């Protein structure tokens, strides 16, 4: 069954134009092609990024947070109690008064001690400001580095200025070393985010703590999975030129948001507000203008100019890109709400 599914998955008509086979993607005459098995390397790269994250958060983010006046609040741990811990994990974190009385009798202690235990146990689940700052610092560092490196890799490429160049010579476009490392680092980063979903802070879509907005945890899960699937698929189909442009367009706005969060945690209100406005401008330019009218135009319209029979991958990749655009609209709506309240409600 697995062998049959594997042959279906790698059927040429899914990935490449008519009259092309996987045999045509063998390196030759100076041409180097991306190979699907190279994607296995993104897992160890993700582990390397997690190690870098650990040291950067501990030895760079923490001293920086201290310099900005963010203190490391130490919370008091409740005394070990298997009965209360089991109830906290399996039943309720906010027991009613009658439930507290029953637990007090079961543990042979006072109601006040049970209430105190649950209060301290709940406090352990709340991330500290320092934890939030460290996570924002890591994301800021990666997105900023990726944006700078991406610009260095792309600024002298003709397809950075003329989107039609992404299809010239396709599918026989050679893979550049810069494109390899750009892809591996980006996919590895999103794998690392998937690995830490259970321990990372489930953030809100706002950079300002005073604003009550719905958590966008599930939107981030969908975004990470779609991003990994999209980048991995574009790698296998040698849509690398377009893929690097998609990566660059996404990362250039994100580090402004993470910077705004960092200064918000430090209570530098004016700096946070200024950075959030810059982020909003960058977001609407990259996600609401460049992505739909530049990237999607190149993926939806231009392939039909070169071929009258689009392959199945055309629909798969554009479907995932449209999912990302839907998320852009969702987040853009939330950002617009924040800006509206910021302007009219101060």
Using an 8 Å Cβ cutoff, are 304 and 298 in contact? no
For residue 204, give the 3-state DSSP assignment.
Answer: strand
Determine the Cα–Cα distance for residues 191 and 50; give it in Å rounded to an integer.
10
Residue 2 lies in a domain: no
Buried b / exposed e over 209-225, threshold 16 CB at 10 Å, is eeeeeeebeebbeebbe
Same domain, 149 and 66: yes
Same domain, 251 and 106: no
Residue 190 lies in a domain: yes
**pLDDT in the model for residue 315:** 87
Residue 250 lies in a domain: yes
Determine the Cα–Cα distance for residues 202 and 199; give it in Å rounded to an integer.
9
**pLDDT in the model for residue 208:** 42
For residue 77 the two structure tokens come to 């741990």
Same domain, 118 and 137: no
Cα 153 vs. chain centroid, distance in angstroms?
Answer: 21
For residue 266 the two structure tokens come to 């430090």
Same domain, 114 and 136: no
Q: Which regions in the chain score pLDDT beneath 70?
A: 201-217, 219, 307-310, 346
Same domain, 233 and 322: yes
Model pLDDT for residues 38-87, shown as the tens digit of each residue: 999 999 999 999 999 999 999 999 999 999 988 877 777 788 888 888 88
Domain boundary among 62, 97, 124: 124
Range of the domain at 115: 82-124
Same domain, 259 and 307: yes
Place of tokens 């999209």: 230
Residue 7 lies in a domain: no
Residue 76 lies in a domain: no
Residue 18 lies in a domain: no
Using an 8 Å Cβ cutoff, are 311 and 14 in contact? yes
Buried b / exposed e over 251-283, threshold 16 CB at 10 Å, is bbbbbbbbbbbbbbbbebeeebbebbeebbebb
Percent of the chain with pLDDT over 90: 46
Residue 289 lies in a domain: yes
Give me the phi and psi of 311, to 5 degrees please: -80, 170
Same domain, 190 and 240: yes
- Total domains, the chain: 2
Determine the Cα–Cα distance for residues 46 and 51; give it in Å rounded to an integer.
9
Same domain, 178 and 293: yes
Same domain, 285 and 319: yes
**pLDDT in the model for residue 62:** 92
For residue 331 the two structure tokens come to 């987040």
Tally Cβ neighbours within 10 Å of residue 34. 21
CATH code, domain with 120: 1.10.10.60
Domain boundary among 93, 124, 155: 124
Determine the Cα–Cα distance for residues 236 and 247; give it in Å rounded to an integer.
16
Strands (E), the chain: none
Residue 322 lies in a domain: yes
**pLDDT in the model for residue 125:** 74
Same domain, 116 and 213: no
Same domain, 93 and 222: no
Strand partners, 215: 204
Determine the Cα–Cα distance for residues 321 and 299; give it in Å rounded to an integer.
9
């Amino acid at each position: 069954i697995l062998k049959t599914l594997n042959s279906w998955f790698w059927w040429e008509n899914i990935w490449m134009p008519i009259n092309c086979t996987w045999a045509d993607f063998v390196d030759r005459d100076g041409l180097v092609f991306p190979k699907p098995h190279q994607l296995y390397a993104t897992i160890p790269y993700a582990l390397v990024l997690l190690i870098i994250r650990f040291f950067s958060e501990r030895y760079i983010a923490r001293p920086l947070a201290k310099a900005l006046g963010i203190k490391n609040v130490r919370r008091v741990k409740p005394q070990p109690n298997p009965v209360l811990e089991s109830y906290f994990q399996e039943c309720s974190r906010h027991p009613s008064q009658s439930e507290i009385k029953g637990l007090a009798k079961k543990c042979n202690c006072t109601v006040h001690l049970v209430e105190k235990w649950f209060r301290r146990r709940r406090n352990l689940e709340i991330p500290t400001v320092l934890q939030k700052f460290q996570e924002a610092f890591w994301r800021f560092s990666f997105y900023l580095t990726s944006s700078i490196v991406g610009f260095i890799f792309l600024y002298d490429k003709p397809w950075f200025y003329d989107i039609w160049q992404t299809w010239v010579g396709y599918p026989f476009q050679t893979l550049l070393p810069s494109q390899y490392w750009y892809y591996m680092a980006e996919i590895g980063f999103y794998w690392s985010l998937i690995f830490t979903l259970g321990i990372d802070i489930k953030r809100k879509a706002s950079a300002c703590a005073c604003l009550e907005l719905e958590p966008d945890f599930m939107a981030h899960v969908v975004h990470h999975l779609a991003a990994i699937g999209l980048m991995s698929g574009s790698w296998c189909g040698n849509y690398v030129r377009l893929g690097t442009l998609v990566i660059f367009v996404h990362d250039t706005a994100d580090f402004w948001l993470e910077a705004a969060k960092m200064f918000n945690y430090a209570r530098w209100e004016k700096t946070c507000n200024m950075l959030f406005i810059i982020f909003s401008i960058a977001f609407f330019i990259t996600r609401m203008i460049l992505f739909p009218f530049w990237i999607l135009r190149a993926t939806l319209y231009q392939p039909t100019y070169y071929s009258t029979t689009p392959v199945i991958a055309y629909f798969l990749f554009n479907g995932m890109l449209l999912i990302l655009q839907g998320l852009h609209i969702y987040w853009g709506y939330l950002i617009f709400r924040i800006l509206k309240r910021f302007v009219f409600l101060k």
